[in-house]
Amino acid sequence: EIVLTQSPGTLSLSPGERATLSCRASQSVSSLAWYQQKPGQAPRLLIHGASSRATVIPDRFSGSGSGTDFTLTISRLEPEDFAVYYCQQYGSSPKFSFGQGTKLEIK
């Protein structure tokens, strides 16, 4: 069973700073996505295929990585970017699984 581990658990930064979030898989994964979730809302797809931005996602969001190590980078934080971020893998047992999340909070 593939387990996704995200780090850090909480990231405290200021608007305008750069955020780097990590997702590590216990085994190599074939497909990885990133989501943003705000309180009371459903997750929103940001990145698919490890590095492709979803529709209408600003270009300050970028994804990279392959195999077992993946990164979500937000180049310059805007006030609306403070939220919880999840990675998600597709394809291996379990068929879909999510990381435990990284909370990005205002410093």
Partner 1 sequence: QVQLQQSGPGLVKPSQTLSLTCVISGDSVSSNSVAWNWIRQSPSRGLEWLGRTYYRSKWLNDYAVSVKSRMTVNPDTSKNQFSLQLNSVTPEDTAVYFCARGWSGGFDIWGQGTMVTVSS
Binding site for partner 1 (CB under 8 A): 31, 33, 35, 41-45, 48-49, 52, 54-55, 86, 88, 90, 93-98, 100-101
Q: State both tokens at 101.
A: 């999340």
If the CB atoms of residues 14 and 93 are measured against partner 1, the closer one turns out to be 93
* Shortest distance, position 63 Cβ to partner 1, whole Å: 11
Phi, psi of 28 (to 5 degrees): -60, 135
The answer for residues whose C-beta is within 8 angstroms of residue 28's C-beta and 6 or more apart is 67, 68
* Shortest distance, position 95 Cβ to partner 1, whole Å: 6
Do 44 and 56 contact (CB within 8 A), yes or no? no
* Shortest distance, position 49 Cβ to partner 1, whole Å: 6
